[in-house]
Each structure stands twice: as C-alpha cells, then as structure tokens.
A and B are shown apart, each in its own frame.
Chain A
Amino acid sequence: MFPLNDAGVISGLVCGVLFGFVLENAGFGSPAKLTAQFQLRDWSVFKVMFTAIVVAAFGLYGLKLAGLLQADAVFVPTALLMASAVGGALVGAGFAIGGYCPGTSVVGLFSGRLDALVFLVGLLLGTVAFAGFYGPVIEAIMAMWELEAGDTMTDAFGIPEVAMLGILAVALIAVFFAGSWFERRSAGPVTSDQAVAGSTN
C-alpha cells in the first residue's frame, strides 16, 4: 500500500535528480524562456505545468481507485486562501522580474547562470526578511480566508474528483490551443540556442 512515507536520503536524491533533469530539458533553467511565458510568446511554462498536474492528478486518482494508494495519506496544502493569494502574487512578481522561481533558479545556477545565484541570494534574504517581520500581525493575515469545509476542491466545494479531473483535462487542451495560437502570432518559443546564448533575438 502506497505511499511508502520514505523520508530518506536516497528517495530525496532520486526524486530531485529526476526533477532537475526534466526541468532543464524543458528549458526551465533559462530566465529568457521562463519570462517569455509572461510575454505570451512562449507557452512552455503553462503547457508543461498543466500537463504535469493532469498526469499526476490522474495517476493519483487511478492509484486510489485501484486500491494501491491510501486516500488520506497524500499531503494536501491547507486552504489558507489569503496566504496563498499574497504569496502567489509575490512569487509571480519575483518570477517576472527576477527571471526564476525558487526551484528553477537552482536549475539556472547548475546550467551555469550566475544571475540565478544572485536570485538565490535574494531568496535567502527574502526569507530573512520574512522571519524578521514574523509575528502576530503577519500570522493573523496568513490565517485569513481559511476554508473550513476542507482543503481540496471536492471537500471545499463539493465538486466530484472525476469532474475536477475533467475540468483540468479540458483546461489543458485549451492551454495547448491558446498557447500555440499566441506562439504563431509572435516570435515563438525561445529555442535552446537562444537560451544558451542568453539572447532571444
């Protein structure tokens, strides 16, 4: 019965190596490619993320259905919606301006990008700043808009899991169609040559 709840060194390294290997091959070590999503010329970020979410969500559902995965044993983030909204906005702005999100900055650094190291220094300083401000006020803000009914779309809003999977699958197809349409009408996806050269022209 899964999950194995393995918190060991080997599982960490294996999952991490595969994660980093896929991210680099997707082009997500390049800040030019990552930020091209927000200029709507390269939809790789949306396409890859949506595909991964759908594959993993269907996989989790299938494993539960087959009786191989314990339903409540998988971690679901707590529905603290104010914290998620404020945090999402700050990480999104940081991504657009800095060129990376936290995970992809590691990929950037280990494909030779020194600006990613600067981003990582900023990441640590941002954590220090948060720890400095941490107290009753910030805790109260982070606790706002918690959904009492539950943390998943199913528990919080009563949307059946199968329906949510259907919605995600339709959204995935829409992202691929819309993305490819925008890509044809602009300079198009950032190639690996452009990404390595550090120039999108």
Chain B
Amino acid sequence: MSLSSGAHDRAVKPFWSPLLAGVALGLVLLLTFVLTGHGLGATGASTRLTAWLGLHAAPAATQANAYLGPMVENGNPLSSWISWQVMGVALGALAASFMAGRFRIQLDGVRSVGAPRRLVTALAGGLMAGFGARVAAGCTSGLGLSGAATLGVAAFVFLGLFFATGLVASRLVKGV
C-alpha cells in the first residue's frame, strides 16, 4: 500500500475471517430455513424481474412464452418472498460496505484487464450464469449453499461442476 493513499485506506476495515463469516452465514441460512422452510437465493428474483420487464416491454411475447408466461399469469411476478430477500441483500451489503469504509464507486477489474474487456467479461459472465441458473433451477446460493445444507444430491453435483468449471475457465480467460 502506498503512503500517499494512507489517509483514505486507514478507514477501510478488514474483512471478517472466513471462519467467522462462515459461521454467521450458516446461522443466517438456518434462521431462513426455520422461518420459511426454504433457504436463501438470488436468481428467483432476477427471473421474476425478467418476467416483469418482459411484461412491460413485450407483453404478448412474454405471456405466450412457455417459461415466463406462467409466471405473469397471476399478477405482478415481483410480489414474492425472494424479491424482498434480494432487496434485503442490497440493503445489507450497502450498510456493511458503508460501515466498514469499503463503499467505492468503481468499475472493478479495469486495473487488470482494462475497461472494454471488463465490460465484455462482466456481461458474458452474467449471461452464462443467468442461463445456467435457469437450467439448474437455482444458483450458488439457492441450489449450492441452501441445497447442500439439506444434504441434497443436486446441490453437491452443482457445486462440484461449479468449482471444476470455474477452475478451468479462470485459466483460459482472465475476466477480472
């Protein structure tokens, strides 16, 4: 760390240790199971947001779509527990990053790969993750983390392939 940026950096608090963060995450997950009967997630909300956007941008096509259609049949697809949970994630992350002096507006990854490349890798990565999460009917949190806590076979298969492919992909493409 350079001395010139010392004044700013001093305000940046360190991350929690992985053990502390892991125990805390496990307890939050357990609380979620106890309250709701299911675990934590993310793409449930992004899928509903896609359906909602589709309903406004192209209503006929969205209603006719075999996947999104059933989601928009009964009113607003966004009115669901998972939408509130993801809104909570946003608030929680905002509070944590502000409290620890870690909030900074930036295009992260630009320093190592440059802006044009970073925009492409972020978009391409999101595309793959978005498509993949629909195939698996869950993402790292919804299927991997929450499913593994219930000892679901699907979760372990998901996590195994997730990590194996990630290891290979990170050697082939530098995205960040």
Query: What's the Cα separation between A84 and B143 when bound, in Å?
Result: 9
The residues of B that contact A84 with a CB separation of less than 8 Å are 136, 143, 154-155, 157-158, 161
28 contacts between A and B (CB under 8 A): A11-B36, A12-B88, A13-B85, A15-B36, A23-B25, A25-B16, A55-B22, A55-B27, A56-B30, A60-B150, A76-B147, A80-B154, A85-B161, A91-B132, A92-B161, A93-B128, A94-B130, A97-B175, A103-B41, A111-B94, A111-B102, A114-B107, A122-B129, A125-B123, A135-B66, A195-B102, A197-B9, A198-B106
**B124-139 with Cβ < 8 A to chain A:** 124-139
Please name all residues of chain A whose beta carbon is closer than 8 Å to the beta carbon of B160 when the two chains form the complex. 88
Interface contact B137-A77, CB-CB below 8 Å: yes
B35, B82, B122, B166 interface centre (most CB from chain A within 10 Å): B122
Report the minimal beta-carbon distance from B162 to chain A, rounded to whole angstroms. Answer: 4
Please tell me if B60 contacts chain A, counting CB pairs below 8 Å: no
**Interface size bracket, B side:** 35 or more
Given A16-B89, A88-B165: A24 and B102 interface contact (C-beta under 8 Å) = yes
User: Cβ of A67 < 8 Å from any Cβ of B?
Assistant: no
**Given that A87-B135, A126-B129, A200-B112 are known contacts, is A20 also in contact with B152, CB under 8 Å in the complex?**
no
Whether, in the assembled complex, A123 has its beta carbon less than 8 Å from a beta carbon of chain B, the answer is yes
Given A4-B35, A122-B127, A126-B127, 17 more A-B residue pairs with CB atoms under 8 Å apart are A11-B81, A12-B82, A12-B83, A17-B95, A20-B91, A25-B96, A30-B108, A80-B137, A92-B165, A94-B127, A95-B129, A99-B125, A115-B122, A119-B122, A123-B46, A128-B54, A198-B109
CB distance from A135 to the nearest CB of B (A): 6
B106 touches A113 (CB 8 A): yes
Given contacts A86-B135, A88-B160, A97-B175, contact A124 B50 (CB under 8 A): yes
Binding site for A on B (CB under 8 A): 1, 5, 9, 12-16, 18-19, 21-43, 46-47, 49-50, 53-54, 65-68, 81-97, 100-112, 118-119, 121-141, 143-167, 169-170, 173, 175-176
**Chain A positions 111-143 with a Cβ under 8 Å from a chain B Cβ:** 111-116, 118-132, 134-135, 138, 142
Which A residues touch B68, using CB under 8 A? 131
CB closest chain-A residue, reference B171: A38
Instruction: Point out the residues of chain B lying under 8 angstroms from A152, CB to CB.
Output: 150-153
Give the size of the chain A interface in residues (CB under 8 angstroms).
133
A155 to chain B, nearest CB (A): 9
Interface residues of A (CB under 8 A from B): 2-9, 11-27, 29-33, 35, 37-39, 43-44, 46-57, 59-60, 63, 69, 73-81, 83-116, 118-132, 134-135, 138, 142, 147, 151-154, 156-157, 161, 164, 176, 191-193, 195-200
